[in-house]
Amino acid sequence: MATPAPTNRPMENYADFWPYYLQEHAKPETRAIHYLGSALSLGFLGAAAVTGDWWLALGALVGGYGPAWVGHFFIEHNRPATFSYPLWSLVSDYRMFFRWLTGGLRADLNRAGVTQTRE
């Protein structure tokens, strides 16, 4: 079982980051609000691509990060990984979303040692 990296030592690879990321999203409510944010951001990006109005891309940022940060600050009570690992965190947001949609997330959470109550 993977454990979170010590806060005083940076992660050196994505393979170590993914279990840490899942542990930082242990509560189903935090994951649910992330799914909402991921769907909103994809919707805004899709609308921007269809309409050619790239100002909608700002909606993708607000729609994606807003709910996620609310989840961390008010549900999970931890600091978003985006602040320390912006690229890996972005990739992991969508990875978690698509793993959830395709039914693979439960196994990932189990491997990361996240106790699951529902989902």
Q: Is the pLDDT of residue 9 over 70?
A: no
Closest to 20 measured CA to CA, from 115, 92, 100, 103: 92
pTM over 0.85: yes
Q: Is 113 exposed, middle or buried (0-12, 13-18, 19+ CB in 10 A)?
A: middle
Residue with the larger pLDDT of the pair 3 and 32: 32
Mean per-residue pLDDT, 82-101: 96
Q: What is the rounded average pLDDT for all residues in the chain?
A: 90
Q: Look at residue 47 and tell me whether its pLDDT is greater than 60.
A: yes
Take residue 106 and report the two structure tokens written for it.
């439960």
**Stretch 36-65: mean pLDDT, rounded?**
96
Report percent pLDDT > 70 for the chain. Answer: 90
The beta strands (E) that lie in 1-119 are given as: none
Cα separation, 9 vs 11, whole angstroms: 7
Q: Across residues 73-94, what is the average pLDDT?
A: 94
Report the first-to-last Cα separation within the chain, whole angstroms.
21
Angle at 91 between CA 75 and CA 23, to 5 degrees: 40
